[in-house]
Amino acid sequence: MIKQVGVLGAGQMGNGIAHVFAQFGYQVVLYDIAAPQLEKAVTTIRQNLERQAKKGAIPEALVGETVGRIRTTQALADLAAVDFAVEAVTENEPLKLEIFRRLDETAKAGAILASNTSSIPITKIAAVTRRPEKVIGMHFMNPVPVMKLVEVIRGHATSDETFAVTAELVAKLDKEMAVSQDYPGFIVNRILMPMINEAVFALYEGIATAEDIDKGMKLGTNQPMGPLTLADFIGLDTCLAIMNVLYDGFKDPKYRPCPLLVKMVNAGYLGRKSGRGFYSY
CATH number for the domain spanning 27: value is: 3.40.50.720
Query: Is residue 150 in some structural domain?
Result: yes
Query: Is residue 279 in some structural domain?
Result: no
* Residue 11 labelled as part of a binding site: yes
Q: For residues 261 and 269, is the Cβ–Cβ distance under 8 A?
A: no
pLDDT at 262: 98
Query: Is residue 281 in some structural domain?
Result: no
Kindly report, residue by residue over 203-223, the tens digit of the pLDDT: 999 999 999 999 999 999 999
Kindly report, residue by residue over 52-105, the tens digit of the pLDDT: 999 999 999 999 999 999 999 999 999 999 999 999 998 889 999 999 999 999
Whether residue 154 is found in the same domain as residue 208: no
Looking at every residue in the chain, the average pLDDT score rounds to 97
Does the structure show a pLDDT above 90 at 43?
Answer: yes
**Type of residue numbered 230:** L
Boundary-marking domain end, from 181, 207, 241: 181
Q: Report d(CA 55, CA 52) in Å as an integer.
A: 5
Whether residue 200 is found in the same domain as residue 117: no
Task: State pTM to two decimals.
Answer: 0.91
Query: Is residue 280 in some structural domain?
Result: no
Whether residue 135 is found in the same domain as residue 224: no
Boundary-marking domain end, from 155, 181, 207: 181
Whether residue 126 is found in the same domain as residue 11: yes
- Report the share of the chain in percent with pLDDT over 90: 96
pLDDT at 58: 94
**Structural domain range at position 12:** 4-181
DSSP string, 179-238: EE-SSTTTTHHHHHHHHHHHHHHHHHTTSS-HHHHHHHHHHHH--SS-HHHHHHHH-HHH
* Residue 155 labelled as part of a binding site: no
Residues in the chain: 281
Nearest CA among 164, 73, 77, 147 for reference residue 112:
164
**Active site amino acids:** 118, 139, 151, 189
- Interval 144-162 mean pLDDT: 97
pLDDT at 92: 87
Does the structure show a pLDDT above 90 at 118?
Answer: no
* Residue 9 labelled as part of a binding site: yes
* Residue 127 labelled as part of a binding site: no
- Interval 239-267 mean pLDDT: 96
Whether residue 221 is found in the same domain as residue 175: no
Q: What percentage of the chain's residues is helix, strand, coil (to nearest 5)?
A: 50, 15, 35
Kindly report, residue by residue over 120-129, the tens digit of the pLDDT: 899 999 999 9
Whether residue 165 is found in the same domain as residue 265: no
Boundary-marking domain end, from 158, 181, 204: 181
Q: For residues 218 and 224, is the Cβ–Cβ distance under 8 A?
A: yes
Whether residue 142 is found in the same domain as residue 227: no
pLDDT band per the 50, 70, 90 thresholds, residue 119: confident
Q: Report d(CA 99, CA 63) in Å as an integer.
A: 31
φ/ψ of 276, rounded to 5, equals -155, 135
For residue 152, give the H/E element and its range: strand 149-154
* Residue 273 labelled as part of a binding site: yes
Contacts of 224 (CB under 8 A, 6+ apart): 218
Q: Report d(CA 41, CA 15) in Å as an integer.
A: 5
Number of structural domains, the chain? 2
